[in-house]
Structure 1
Amino acid sequence: MHLLYEILAESWELLLDAAPYILFGILVGGLLKVFLSPAYVARHLGQGRYSSVFKAALFGVPLPLCSCGVLPAAATLKKQGANNGATTAFLISTPESGIDSISVSYALLDPIMTAARPVAAFVSALIAGSIENTFNPPRPQLAMAADLSCAVDGCCSGVDCPPAEHANHHTLLEKIRAGMRYAFGELWGDLAGWFFIGLLLAGLISALVPDDLITAYLGGGLAAMLLMLAFGIPLYICATASTPIAAAMILKGVSPGAALVFMLVGPATNMATISVLVGLLGRRATGVYLACIAITAVLFGLALDAIYATLGISAKAMVGQAGELLPYPVQLAAALLILALSIKPMYRMIQGWFTKGAGGSDSGCGCDGGCGSK
């Protein structure tokens, strides 16, 4: 009973940390749905085996979304015609970097690590997306199948409606309202079940793995980076929050390369993310996602240590006040709102477990069972 309480307590703490970012990601996803033309997405992120991956990786680097917040935005891109490779690239480059985490890195670390972080995020995203599209080439018919109808009220099909004319059909407020309805209705409904399953798994891991082990035996070298991978992949932490932790690790003697592995892997992977990705992209694409993140993170970590050694630079972080942390009332309000929004989709998901075999193919990710590769 004590272990169960501890798991639930850890899961609740993770939800408190993640909830504001999830809400922000849902809002971004809703706005993308309304303001980002499906035809544009289908053309740039749905067609082209490698150009779409390059654009998605580049597009994701500056966005301030963490590994949970990026999921709703990526689900929207997927629904609007983005291929698996482009979606994979977006899912990697976005949480590993961001304007917020770059600024915090510059404040707490040094210029070398500040530059290494977005570069590593972009390269790892480019490699993962390219591998996915190499083995699973995007099919033009999938992009053409994207929903091009008006995202506000379906007033036109998007085919015989000139963009200049349709731009005057709805006011800005109408578009925002439509985006919010989609974000907090269909979009979160598609992701809620997968997220809470992963959240409980993350709570289980957090409860069983002592915190002090994260900073133990990490003096440098390949072994330290592999150990950092083992800690970082299942645990949830946002890119911005990982930066002061990495700075503290460096001050304790952790190599800058091992700290970089933590900053890349921690924000990009966790049990909640992995569980959603299986539903969104499929098992094979999720495997490519994890493998590419792990391999490129270690390679960049080794290269970064080599750069510091060659230049004779000591990686000393100027640890000061960590960036502004969200106050507890904001976290609590966001968590309670997430729980309220999840009641209906979770009820439908649990109900579906007892009504299998009714011919439905919905996977719980909003892809109707057909978005993931096999």
Structure 2
Amino acid sequence: MEVLYTLIQGGFNELFDYLSYHVLSCLVPAFFIAGAMAVVLTKGAIIKYFGHKAKKIVSYSVASVSGILLAVCSCTVLPLFGGIYRMGAGLGPAITFLYSGPAINILAISLTGVAIGWHMGAARAIGAVAFAIVIGLIMAIVFSKEEQFREQVDFEIPDEKSEKPISFLAVFFGTLVAILIISTSNIDFWIKAALDIILITVVAYMVKRYFEPGEFRSWMSETWSLAKLVVPMLLIGIFIVGMVTAVLPPEWIANYVGNNSVTANIAASLVGALFYFSTLTEVPIVRGLMDLGMHPGPALALLLAGPAVSIPNLLVVNQILGLRKTGAYFICVVISASITGWIYGTFFV
């Protein structure tokens, strides 16, 4: 009975912490960005830069580094990923964005450098970008036939251009991203509130000035649609992770990853790929595990797999991609993180 109580309490504690610190400041702005993308950006533009026929060097390069400017975690990037994929982005570039977005944001890399060492921070950034592209390419190749069929059936649209000027798109989405970044920052509450109010006012003006009749309603509808798709499975997954972590002490993990063996790196990658890590919390967790004896190789593997996927993340990705593609994505993340950790621990430590 005591174990059951601990499990349930752990689940509710994790859920409470998430709702307290992430939904309003992080996830909600991401939903509005994804909803705006579905309305303001044309399908033709998405397919042009991220579809099957787009130049791979452009689509994969942009997707792999876009997370540098977005302070997003694996849950926050989900609505953005779902939005571009539903609009016709190719599986490869979409997966590259999904993996790299939470792994290489500038805050995470900076904190890794400060807390653990810039050697580890650089390794994390390089490994995340490289394997984001590799994972995207593998997924695109493995599911090439399905994706070609999907493009022909769902996204057979004429070549078109956005009716809105590029300058508007840059300022509009830049303002929305600024709201997300400021909302997740650690600045004083009143300064944060004042800046958000100013930026929201700018967005309101741009909506009134540039949106066609009905577009604002469509924006809200798309945002709500994505929220209904993502939130239920996300909260269920967070509750499950909270129950498990409540009875699994970090010291137990450290005992199994104290060397740079292949097994240790795979174990670290699996732990990272299953458990939910709030934005930036993976750094102090890994720092603590390293203080308990965790080898730098498995530590990097955990840093690469932890922010990119989790049980909540996988449940939502399954809703979007289906079980086969989600399973393949999970395997690719675990293998790539394990390989990167082993290489780092063998040759650079």
TM-score between the two structures when normalised by the length of structure 2: 0.74
Cα deviation, residue 165, structure 1 = 11
| Match in the other structure for 1:21 | 22
Cα deviation, residue 188, structure 1 = 0.7
The separation in 2 between residues aligned to 1:87 and 1:37, in whole angstroms, is 16
Structure in which a larger fraction of residues adopt helix:
2
8 A Cα contact 1:57 1:126, kept in partner? yes
Cα deviation, residue 122, structure 1 = 1.4
Question: Is residue 47 of structure 2 the alignment partner of residue 42 of structure 1?
Answer: yes
Cα deviation, residue 100, structure 1 = 0.9
Q: Secondary structure at the match of 1:82?
A: coil
Deviates more, 1:298-307 or 1:30-39: 30-39
The separation in 1 between residues aligned to 2:231 and 2:80, in whole angstroms, is 14
| Match in the other structure for 2:195 | none
8 A Cα contact 1:246 1:262, kept in partner? yes
Which of 206, 209, 221 is residue 172 of structure 1 equivalent to? 206
| Match in the other structure for 1:127 | 134
Question: Residues 199-214 of structure 1 correspond to what in structure 2 (within 5 A)?
Answer: 199-214=238-253
8 A Cα contact 2:6 2:247, kept in partner? no
Q: Secondary structure at the match of 2:274?
A: coil
Which of 280, 287, 291 is residue 251 of structure 1 equivalent to? 291
Cα deviation, residue 88, structure 1 = 1.4
The separation in 2 between residues aligned to 1:161 and 1:231, in whole angstroms, is 43
What amino acid is aligned across from residue 47 of structure 1 in structure 2?
A: H
When the two chains are superposed, the root-mean-square deviation of aligned CA atoms in Å is 3.1
The separation in 2 between residues aligned to 1:230 and 1:42, in whole angstroms, is 34
Cα deviation, residue 106, structure 1 = 1.8
8 A Cα contact 2:50 2:90, kept in partner? yes
Q: Structure 1: state its 5+ residue gaps.
A: 149-157, 310-374
Cα deviation, residue 107, structure 1 = 1.2
The separation in 2 between residues aligned to 1:166 and 1:96, in whole angstroms, is 29
| Match in the other structure for 1:96 | 103
The 1:160–1:261 alpha-carbon spacing in structure 2 relative to 1, beyond 3 Å, is: closer
Deviation by residue 1:6-27 (Cα, 9 ceiling, x = unmatched): 3332222222343343442331
The 1:84–1:21 alpha-carbon spacing in structure 2 relative to 1, beyond 3 Å, is: farther
Q: Secondary structure at the match of 2:281?
A: helix
The 1:217–1:48 alpha-carbon spacing in structure 2 relative to 1, beyond 3 Å, is: same
| Match in the other structure for 1:195 | 234
Q: Secondary structure at the match of 1:253?
A: coil
| Match in the other structure for 1:109 | 116
TM-score between the two structures when normalised by the length of structure 1: 0.70
Question: Residues 136-175 of structure 1 correspond to what in structure 2 (within 5 A)?
Answer: 136-137=143-144, 138-139=147-148, 140-141=151-152, 144-145=155-156, 162-164=163-165, 171-174=205-208
Deviation by residue 1:294-347 (Cα, 9 ceiling, x = unmatched): 1111111111112334xxxxxxxxxxxxxxxxxxxxxxxxxxxxxxxxxxxxxx
| Match in the other structure for 2:273 | 233
What amino acid is aligned across from residue 163 of structure 1 in structure 2?
A: K
The separation in 1 between residues aligned to 2:166 and 2:116, in whole angstroms, is 50
Q: Secondary structure at the match of 1:196?
A: helix
Q: Secondary structure at the match of 2:307?
A: helix
Cα deviation, residue 292, structure 1 = 1.4
8 A Cα contact 2:298 2:341, kept in partner? yes
Cα deviation, residue 243, structure 1 = 0.9
The 1:217–1:83 alpha-carbon spacing in structure 2 relative to 1, beyond 3 Å, is: same
Q: Structure 2: state its 5+ residue gaps.
A: 170-203
The separation in 2 between residues aligned to 1:142 and 1:258, in whole angstroms, is 43
The 1:80–1:211 alpha-carbon spacing in structure 2 relative to 1, beyond 3 Å, is: same
Deviation by residue 1:140-198 (Cα, 9 ceiling, x = unmatched): 4367357x9xxxxxxxxx95874349969x94244696687347522211212222332
The separation in 2 between residues aligned to 1:142 and 1:17, in whole angstroms, is 42
